[in-house]
Amino acid sequence: MNYYAIIVAGGSGSRMNAEVPKQFLLLQGRPILMHTMEAFFRCGLNPTLILVLNIHQHAYWEGLCEQYNFTIPHQLVSGGTERFHSVSNGLSAINANGIVAVHDAVRPLVSPELIKRSYVAAEAQGNVVVSIKPTDSIRKIGPSGRSEALNRNMVALIQTPQVFDVKLLKKAYLQPFRNEFTDDASVVEHMGTAINLIEGERQNIKITFQEDLDIATYYSTKKASE
C-alpha cells in the first residue's frame, strides 16, 4: 500500500504577533514544522511526505533545512489562496492510488502511533478523522446572539490528521470551493460521504496563539525527560 502525507503550512503567525510564520517558530530549539514532519517519518509506514508551503517561503525553508541539518525526504509544493487550494495542490503531486493523510503543520505533538493508527483505520474504512471529546460546556450562538446549551456528548472537537483513500479525496477536491469547507472532512462530506471518527490525543494541539506554544513546550519538555 502507498501512503502519503500532505503537510499544510499556510500560517502567517499574525495571531501570535510573530515576525515569522508560526510553522517556523522554534519548539525545543527546532522549527515547529520539523517536529511535525518527523512524527510522520517515524510512524513506521514510510509515507511520502508532501509539504505545501507558500512559494515565497520555499527558499527560507530550504535554508532552515540546511541550518538544522534536516534531511527527511519530502516534496515541496506551492500553497494556494485558501487551505482548500493548498490541499488540492498537494493532491496534484500524488500520481498513484493509496491512502493520504492531511495534517496541519502546526500540530507538532501528534504521535507516530496516532498517525499509524489513522492510516490503518482509513485503509479499512475509506476515511477517518481524528477527534476528541470536549471537556468544557458548549453553547450554540444564534444569529441574534442568543445562545443555547448543547449536549457535549453529541459533539466532537476535530483534529488532524484526516486520512482518506486517495481516489476519494481527489474526487472530493474536484468540487468548487465553498466558504464552509473548513477542513478535508467537510469537503468529502459535501459530496455525500459519511465521515468516520477515531479517538485523537489531547496533546495534539494546534499552535495558534502564544499560549499554545507555551503548552507545546511543556509537553515536549516532559516527553524529552521521560
Question: In the chain, where are the structural domains located?
Answer: 3-225
Query: How would you class 59 by CB atoms within 10 Å of its CB: exposed for 0-12, middle for 13-18, buried for 19 or more?
Result: exposed
| pLDDT tens for each residue of 185-201 | 999 999 999 999 999 99
- Is the previous residue joined to 108 through a cis bond, with omega within 30 degrees of 0? no
Report the pLDDT averaged over residues 196-216: 96
Q: Label residue 18 by pLDDT band (50, 70, 90).
A: low
Q: Label residue 13 by pLDDT band (50, 70, 90).
A: very low
Kindly report the CA angle at 210 between 208 and 214, in degrees rounded to 5? Answer: 110
3-225 is classed CATH 3.40.50.300: no
CB atoms within 10 A of CB 208: 15
Q: What pLDDT, on a 0 to 100 scale, did the predictor assign at position 32? A: 98
Distance CA(50)–CA(7), nearest Å, equals 6
Its pTM surpasses 0.75: yes
| pLDDT tens for each residue of 116-164 | 999 999 999 999 999 999 999 999 998 988 999 999 999 999 999 999 9
| DSSP per-residue codes, the chain | --EEEEEEE----GGGT-SS-GGGSEETTEEHHHHHHHHHHTSSS-PEEEEEE-GGGHHHHHHHHHHTT-----EEEE--SSHHHHHHHHHHT--S-SEEEEEETT-TT--HHHHHHHHHHHHHHSEEEEEE---S-EEEE-TTS-EEEE-GGG--EEEEEEEEEHHHHHHHTTSPP-TT--SHHHHHHHTTPPPPEEE--TT-----SHHHHHHHHHHHHHHHH-
| pLDDT tens for each residue of 108-123 | 999 999 999 999 999 9
Average pLDDT over the chain, rounded to an integer: 94
